[in-house]
Amino acid sequence: MAQIFHRSTNTLSRVSVFGAVFFIAFLLWLFDAVNRSPYITQQGIARVQPVQFSHQHHVGAIGIDCRYCHTSVEKAAFANIPPTKTCMNCHAQIWNQSPELEPVRESWRTGRSIEWVKVYDLPDYVYFNHSIHVAKGVGCETCHGRIDRMPLVSQHPSLEMSWCLDCHRAPEKYIRPREDVFTMGYVPAGRQEEIGEKLKAEYHIRPTRELTDCWTCHR
């Protein structure tokens, strides 16, 4: 009887049996790598805004406080985007002829809001409240990075759920005194673990069991 398979089939079958394992492992790794890459998470990718507003200039160079524009951050879930009026407080006087700022003046004339592109866009099934984080000593910088060095704002963390849980599982590693919440480039005055533990008790931060309950964020 003639052979059905050529001699090389032996090698082929061995390679394919062993290769399949590595190939599947590679595919799984690839899927995970893409899933965690900025392509999916948008981490570190600056968005194009209707006005090329520079936080680096306004926060870093001029030294405007976060709360001058984001007025509701201490009291509400949403840290508001300032109305055009806030821009015009200064820009009615300075740079009031700049072509860069024409969209601002147009908004001022017509009364139509500037449509800023949201950078930190959490899924709708996540409940997030700025005020509680500010009240418990989470610095702006902790989540938003060095805003004072960003000409255009990009997302500082990955915003993956594991990133949220990093802090919810061990808040003492990240919190700072309330008076330093709005400080950029904060350096703890001592060992973070000790300060964190002390603040955790002082600010009555809930135990991890409660901070990591499903309903804490998914209400």
Partner 1 sequence: MADAATPTPPAEKPATTTGILAPGYSFTTLTDKIASIALSRRTPFVWFIGAGVGFLLTMMLLTALTWLLFRGIGIWGVNQPVGWGFEIVNFVWWIGIGHAGTLISAILLLLRQPWRNSINRFAEAMTIFAVACAGIYPAFHTGRPWLDYWLIPYPNSMGMWPNFRSPLIWDVFAVSTYATVSLLFWYVGMIPDLATLRDRAKKLWAKIIYGMLAMGWRGSARHWSRYETASLLLAGLATPLVVSVHTVVSFDFAAGIVPGWHATIFPPYFVAGAIYAGFAMVMTLAIPLRKLYGLEDLITMKHLDNMAKILLATGLIVGYGYVVEAFMSYYSGNTYERFMIWNRLHGPYKHAYWALLFCNLVMPQALWFRKVRRSVPWLFVIAMVVNVGMWLERYVIVVVSLSRDFLPSSWGLYKATVFDWATFIGTIGLFLALMFLFIRLLPMISIFEMRAILPEAKVREEEAEA
Q: Which stretch binds partner 1 (CB under 8 A): 7-15, 103-111, 124-132, 196-204?
A: 7-15
Angle CA 100–103–109, to nearest 5: 130
* Position 160 contacts partner 1 (CB under 8 A): yes
Minimum distance between the CB of residue 211 and partner 1, rounded to whole angstroms?
A: 13
Residues 6+ apart with CB under 8 A from 187: none
Half-sphere exposure of 95 (CA within 13 A, CB side): 13
Alpha carbons 30 and 37: distance in angstroms, whole number: 10
Q: How many CB atoms lie within 10 A of CB 179?
A: 8
Between 35 and 98, name the residue whose CB sits nearer to partner 1. 35
* Position 13 contacts partner 1 (CB under 8 A): yes
Q: Which stretch binds partner 1 (CB under 8 A): 58-66, 102-110, 155-163, 185-193?
A: 155-163
Residue with tokens 């508001």: 80
Q: Which stretch binds partner 1 (CB under 8 A): 104-112, 114-122, 146-154, 157-165?
A: 157-165
Give per-residue burial for 201-215: e unless 16+ CB within 10 Å, then b: eeeebeeeeebeeee
User: According to CB under 8 A, which one of 162, 179, 185, 187 is a site residue for partner 1?
Assistant: 162
* Position 215 contacts partner 1 (CB under 8 A): no
Which tokens sit at 23? 């190939």
187-191 long-range CB contacts below 8 Å, 24 or more apart? none
Between 35 and 52, name the residue whose CB sits nearer to partner 1. 35
Between 101 and 159, name the residue whose CB sits nearer to partner 1. 159
Between 66 and 167, name the residue whose CB sits nearer to partner 1. 167
Q: Which stretch binds partner 1 (CB under 8 A): 4-12, 44-52, 54-62, 87-95?
A: 4-12
User: According to CB under 8 A, which one of 64, 142, 166, 174 is a site residue for partner 1?
Assistant: 166
- One symbol per residue from 60 to 89: x for binding partner 1 (CB under 8 A), - otherwise; what is it? ------------------------------
DSSP annotation of 58 reads I
DSSP annotation of 128 reads -
DSSP annotation of 50 reads S
Residue with tokens 């900025």: 38
Site for partner 1, rule CB under 8 A: 1, 4-5, 9-10, 13, 35-36, 158, 160-166
